[in-house]
Structure 1
Amino acid sequence: MTLSLTRCPAPAKLNLFLHVNGRRSDGYHLLQTVFQLIDHSDYLDAEVTDDGCITRTNDVPGVPEDSDLIVRAARLLQQHTNSQLGARLTLHKTLPMGGGLGGGSSDAATTLMALNALWQTGLSQQELMRISVQLGADVPFFLFGENAFAEGIGEELQPVQTPDCWYVVIEPGVHVPTPAIFSSDLLTRDTKPVKITDFPADEFVKWKNDLQSVACLLYPEVDKAVKWLNQFGAAKMTGSGACVFCAVSDESEADKIITQHEGNWKLWKAKSLNIHPMMKKLQTKD
């Protein structure tokens, strides 16, 4: 009998704020952010093979197989556990690249969760998080499995309560490469650190994304999206861009905003999540 898992969710995240507090000697930036899971996802199908080969079964535009984070994540787990098993991986891509939604990192985390279960490698959540830093600073968050207040380079995580709401998200149609934002001389790197207990109630803290002003200058379409969405609420860019979002109270309000857009941007709605849906899927499997 073939061992497989299908429709494994790899959800997007939003950064409800993102402050840059400094820079380490190795060039990595010190951050504070709140990661919010939302119910808009890529999906992964994973099938176990006994030949030890890791392969991706479908093309992903702009992403060669060997550099795809799902393939790299599978090989990392295989090497770390000395597993003799392989996998055939199929990625159903919905989340845009260069959008600040964490799509690639989420795909990698879901791959690790799926194969850890299918290969029965038995790694704990903490061990998966520890090795996943090699794939990217956001990957541990998706393995953490719940909304988080993050510090350091994004790997120091604490659970946090976030608003129960809907979001409207705009994809402005531009790809914002993260290095272009973090390397910019225009980036402010000295925002005063906050405490987890400050979020979100402290009226003296401006909950902003420090990367947004740089992205808006370098990519005018991001600036246009922020200004348009600001009509309906406090619009903010997520991550290093390019996607822009605002919170709304219910689904009908999200629908009304989306119907008012007449341009070429892609708009969609998403519900806030408290728990990573892959956690529930694996519990059901057991």
Structure 2
Amino acid sequence: MPDVIASTVPLVSILAPAKLNLMLHIVGRRDDGYHELQTLFQLLDYADQLDFYPAPITQTQLLDIHMSGPLARTQDLMNLPLQNNIVYRAAQALYQAGLVRGIAPDSMQKLVVHLHKKIPSGGGLGGGSANAAATLIALNQLWGLQFSTTELASIGLSLGADVPVFVHGRNAWAQGIGEDLTFVNLATQSFLVLHPGCQVATGRVFQHPNLTRSSPKITMRTALEQGGENACQALVCHLYPKVKLALDLLTQISLANQGCPARLTGTGACVFAAFAHQTQAQAGLSLLAKTLANSGLDEQACTYFVAQGKA
């Protein structure tokens, strides 16, 4: 990161939280190929941070992106072309929406964003979608566009089905392709999350002929009171043996500390276990750190942490 930026107070700093899918039912497939879902989004207090700075006068692109953090150089994000980065795409989408609204191009200043990366990519935690939503919110403020939250969520939907829930920043029951949201309050829980060091290709999972696409539809009340399964879990465990190893290991650790059996979030690769109390989750974290080396997983490639669920 250039020294001139590192020594400057950011114009805006914003957190981009991770999410869990507490359950995920696939209830059908639309004519356009998208799947009809039912899921319960739980936002966490574990987050990336995005700091926005004025661009140097020599910068030609709308937004330049710098990354730091323990995961920044271990992921493909460092080598991703700028135009393919979802943060840049979010800035471009908002810029175009501003032009349609009649905002003068020169009033939407060029910026540099410093992304402090904590959320592992390819893990089903929604890190990219959260970063996109944070960018929409921050630039809406910096550029004085005055788009409503609903309008920002609509722009975000063009970037990904998960983006709207992060724009709203609330736990939600979601249907459709994930964009039909009903906001909910959830019981406060602690979660132990484990990324097994592999990336799951979402497209491969959703296109697989063995994916369960006929989960029974349930009501939001049933999901809140009884929970549900993850329709992708069995297939992902079959396709990605490391996910199966992580799921079995975390279940064993969780049950030994009064937690619940581990589950997959989204299409993975992250698995998680829920605990009623943070002390139980922390005990599970300590046990995981001690046993991971002999689990069959690559300890250096894994990421694991405890997070609180947002109520």
TM-score relative to the length of structure 2: 0.83
Q: Is residue 244 of structure 2 the alignment partner of residue 210 of structure 1?
A: no
Letter in 1 for 2:134: T
SS in 2 for 1:210: coil
DSSP-derived class of the 2:158 partner: helix
Letter in 1 for 2:239: L
User: 2:3 maps to what in 1?
Assistant: none
**Match of 1:98, SS?**
coil
Paired amino acid for 2:84: S
Contact 2:120–2:303, Cα closer than 8 Å, also in 1: no
Letter in 2 for 1:58: H
- Alignment of 1:195 with 2:219, yes or no, is yes
> CA offsets per residue over residues 110-141 of structure 1, 9 Å max, x none?
00000101111000001111111110110011
> Which stretches of structure 1, 4 residues or more, deviate above 3 A after TM superposition?
48-53
Q: Which moved more, 1:15-24 or 1:58-67?
A: 58-67
Superposed CA RMSD in Å reads 1.8
Change (3 A) 1:57 1:70: closer
Please name the residue that 1:78 is paired with: 95
Q: Identify the residue that residue 184 of structure 2 maps to in structure 1.
A: 160
Q: Give, in angstroms, the shift of residue 52 of structure 1.
A: 7.8
Q: 2:268 aligns with which of 231, 241, 248?
A: 241
Instruction: Confirm or deny: 8 A CA contact 2:165 2:181 kept in the other structure.
Output: yes
Shift of 1:273: 1.0
In 1, Cα distance between the equivalents of 2:79 and 2:200? 14
Please, which of 43, 61, 65 is the counterpart of residue 82 of structure 2? 65
Q: 243-252 vs 49-58, which deviates more? A: 49-58
State the Cα distance separating 1:3 from its structure 2 match. 7.4
Is the 8 Å Cα contact of residues 42 and 91 (structure 1) preserved in structure 2?
yes
Q: Does 1:230 align with 2:251?
A: yes
Whole-Å Cα distance in 2 between the matches of residues 236 and 112 of structure 1? Answer: 31
Residues 94-109 of structure 1: matches in 2 within 5 Å?
94-109=118-133
Contact 1:2 1:48 in 2 (8 A): no
Contact kept, 8 Å, 1:99 with 1:241, in 2: the verdict is: yes
- In structure 2, runs of 5+ residues without a counterpart are 1-7, 68-76, 255-259, 293-298
Give the match for residue 12 of structure 2: 5
Residue 48 of structure 1: how far off its partner (Å) = 4.3
Percent identity at matched positions? 39
Unaligned runs of 5+ in 1: 275-286
CA contact (8 A) 1:24 1:30 kept: yes
**Larger helix proportion of the pair:** 2
Amino acid at match of 1:75: Q
Tell me the SS of whatever aligns to 1:135: coil
Q: Which residue of 2 aligns with 1:172?
A: 196
- Matched AA of 2:244: D
Distance 1:168 1:2, change over 3 A: closer
What is the CA–CA distance in structure 1 between the aligned matches of 2:306 and 2:9, rounded to whole Å? 36
Give the greater-gyration-radius structure (CA): 2
Query: Could you list the per-position Cα deviations for residues 50-69 of structure 1 after superposition, in whole angstroms to 9, with x for gaps in the alignment?
Result: 98842224254242211111
SS in 2 for 1:200: helix
Per-residue CA deviation, residues 72-126 of structure 1 (Å, 9 max, x unaligned), is 1011101111242222112111111110000000000000000101111000001
CA distance in 2, matches of 1:9, 1:36: 16
Partner Cα separation in structure 2 for residue 246 and residue 119 of structure 1 = 41
Q: Does the Cα contact within 8 Å between 2:43 and 2:310 map onto a contact in 1?
A: yes
Report the CA distance shift for 1:2/1:260 in structure 2 as closer, same or farther (over 3 A).
closer
Deviates further, 124-133 or 43-52:
43-52
Matching residue's letter, 2:245: K
Greater alpha carbon shift after TM alignment, 104-113 vs 249-258: 249-258
Cross-structure match for 2:149? 125
- Residue 52 of structure 1 contacts residue 87 of structure 1 at CA under 8 Å; is this kept in 2? no
Secondary structure of the 2:136 match is: helix
Preserved CA contact (<8 Å) 2:66 2:112:
no
Opposite residue 76 of structure 1, the aligned amino acid is A
